[in-house]
Chains A and B, each alone.
Chain A
Amino acid sequence: MLDGALGIWTVVVFVFLYLPIGVLVAYSFNSSKLNILWESFTLDWYVQLWSNAPILRTLKNSLIVATGTTAVSVVIGTTGAWLLHRYRYKFSRSLQTLICIPMMMPEIVMGISLLIFFTAVSLPLGYVSVMIAHVTFCFPFVLVAVQARLQGLDPALEEAALDLGATPLKAFWLVIVPCLRPAILSGGLMAFTLSMDELIISYFTTSPASATLPLKVFGMAKVGLNPMLNALSAVFIVTTIILVLFSEYLRRLGTRPAQAA
């Protein structure tokens, strides 16, 4: 019964999460260029989107940066969480606090200070500088999520692997990581999302060639966020959902014979 109630609640929350997305997709068919009031139905924006090179380029940049950021954040965050869990370092607690600082630091402070630093070490602005900045505030999210999962993890698990002759690294890779997978997945998802949406830090650490989508979108607010942006979001979301469902379908196809055997 409780499960049923939770199920209904989950549905309600999903409606809340997707309500604005529904509105956003509906407005992508709006013929009004300013896209504030509804005018009439059109598919024009989807057509125009295909030929709008600058927007597509910023989307590509956002995806490159978010993917790179997620990969590095997951590596640093997961190993960091594991090490802090496994070993008692002299300065563990100070380190833990330090890790959380980028999460709370106002974007402007981080953006300006990183730009000053990059200029001082003459690192040219581009993909690398944006990714460094993004990883700095994204990996703590992975780390915290993984740490929560590690708490109460049976230490016998790793010890058993070590007793069986595995090196610590092998034990980590073969025993710990699979066990942490759900937390790594949620941490990675958070990192990717944060990176996709970051505006101010990106502004200070990017060059024109690596400018990301949020910079373009915020700039457009001045002349009106035209429905092309909604169309872009709609295409992106629908493609992602289809890809996810498809890969899930493939996975099921793949596992079914094994189950039968």
Chain B
Amino acid sequence: MQTIGLPGTAAPHARKPGLWGWLLLAPMVLWLLLFVVVPTGILAVYSFCQRDDLGRVVFSFTWDNYVRVFDPIYLNILGRSVAYAGLTTIICVAVGYPVGWYIARRPAGLRNLLLLLVMIPFWTSFLIRTYAWIAILKNEGLLNGLLLSAGAITAPLELLYTPVAVVIGLVYAYLPFMILPVYGSAEKVDNALVEAAHDLGAGPVRAFSEVIIPLTLPGIAAGVLLVFVPAIGMFAITDLMGGARVPMIGNVIQNQFFKARNWPFGAALGVVFTLMFVFTYLAVQWHGRRSQR
């Protein structure tokens, strides 16, 4: 059984880099150092500082911000964010995988066209798109109107400003980020392989679960990464479609820099959030590598 190889595990034939290998990698490493490591480093320093009246950083050392981060309330909020992100990812795999696969099996010209059509809706403004969803889901909205006139329901469903609306919004926003990587990976699968499975007597379900899915696992893994990771920090959708009744970790961090004017605490939250991600990611990678051996 093949395990999910996280993107990034070097190929078995990978070799030691020569001068060129290092030289070509240098710009990316430099970019990451300059625009990710250094700014994050600045914030890490801030997280040990105190603040003044304006919320500005005062350079005097304290652990307080980190003590506060581990207050159960913030862990609870982080848990909720992860849960929403997880649910979104699962639904996106279930909904998006077949689409990615289907598009990959079309003739070449149609493929690119369909791929673009998946993404084009998202070239509208986020806010306008979300307000369109509000018009669909509100009590006197399109969906309730349709269902009422079809006689499927007798009273309008309360959808907007509930967790259901939030999940619809999140799945909508992240679905393309599942479909596209799955497509990238499925497009490579040789039709002959699929046919061979059929010829050997595998039914469509068995061919799918034993041949197709394993072959496209890298695409699924990439999609999971691209949906799950950004979804944890998302809060605009929960605010607009969920009525901002529950805080997400993204809200909490943003509030420290805006409303609460406590940059050091916001920085500490950011640092801890980042470190949690790093350790989880490294652990998954390590586990993946071990089980591959």
Contact = CB atoms under 8 A, between A and B. Distances in A.
A190 B17 contact: no
Contacts, number: 309
Contact of A20 (B172, B232, B270): B172
B112 A185 contact: yes
Contacts of A151: 5, 7, 9, 11, 185, 218
B219 interface: yes
B103 interface: yes
Interface string A126-157: 00000011011001010011111111110100
A80 B222 CA distance: 15
Given A152-B218, A153-B11, A101 B36 contact: yes
B133 interface: yes
Which bracket fits the contact residues of A?
A: 35 or more
A146 B180 CA distance: 11
A148 B181 contact: yes
Nearest to A66: B123
Interface string B18-53: 001100110111011011111110110000000000
Contact of B277 (A83, A104, A200): A104
Dominant SS among interface residues on chain B = helix
A21 B115 contact: no
A209 B233 CA distance: 29
A94 to B, nearest CB: 8
A110 B39 contact: yes
A44 interface: no
A23 B281 contact: no
Given A106-B254, A199-B126, A95 B29 contact: yes
Interface in A75-92: 76, 79-80, 83-89, 92
Given A17-B175, A148-B184, A225-B128, A105 B109 contact: no
A167 B77 CA distance: 53
A21 B37 contact: no
B125 A197 contact: yes
Interface in A154-207: 155, 168, 182-183, 185-187, 189-190, 192-193, 196-197, 199-200
Given A104-B277, A225-B127, A117 B42 contact: yes
B120 interface: yes
B35 A114 contact: yes
Nearest to B185: A148
B40 A84 contact: no
Interface of B: 5-11, 13-17, 20-21, 24-25, 27-29, 31-32, 34-40, 42-43, 95-96, 98-99, 101-105, 109, 111-113, 115-129, 131-133, 135-136, 142, 172, 175-177, 180-181, 183-185, 187-188, 204, 208, 215, 218-219, 221-222, 225-226, 229-230, 232-233, 236, 249-250, 253-254, 257-258, 263, 266-267, 270, 273-274, 277-278, 281-282, 285
16 contacts: A13-B96, A20-B136, A20-B172, A21-B129, A80-B25, A83-B25, A85-B14, A95-B29, A103-B229, A106-B250, A108-B253, A147-B8, A217-B128, A225-B127, A233-B124, A241-B117
The list of the 10 closest CB pairs from A to B, nearest first, reads A113-B39, A186-B180, A148-B222, A183-B184, A87-B17, A96-B8, A20-B132, A147-B7, A233-B124, A151-B218
